[in-house]
């Protein structure tokens, strides 16, 4: 059981790193909000505007794999 959870943990970790690296870089979204003096354009109240469908889905997948990582880590601690 522990071996299977370890393999799943490695897969989730690799996917999570990949998803985080796929996000936009500095000065986009709220990460560059205070640096440039402006809001970065966009239609939202802080210049974000919600992004495109691809960005929203990327955010959802990143959150999903983050939650899976946390849950799997807790299960591994309890089992092992």
Separation of alpha carbons 23 and 5, rounded Å: 27
User: pLDDT truncated to tens, each residue of the chain (80 aa)?
Assistant: 999 999 999 999 999 999 999 988 766 654 555 555 544 445 544 445 567 999 999 999 999 999 999 999 999 999 98
Amino acid 36: pLDDT: 52
Amino acid 46: pLDDT: 45
Amino acid 10: pLDDT: 98
């Amino acid at each position: 059981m522990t071996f299977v959870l370890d393999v799943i943990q490695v897969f989730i970790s690799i996917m999570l790193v990949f998803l985080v690296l796929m996000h936009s870089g500095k000065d986009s979204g709220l990460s560059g909000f205070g640096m440039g003096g402006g809001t970065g354009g966009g239609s939202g109240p802080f210049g974000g505007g919600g992004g495109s469908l691809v960005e929203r889905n990327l955010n959802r997948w990143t959150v999903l794999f983050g939650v899976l990582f946390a849950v799997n880590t807790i299960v591994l601690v309890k089992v092992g």
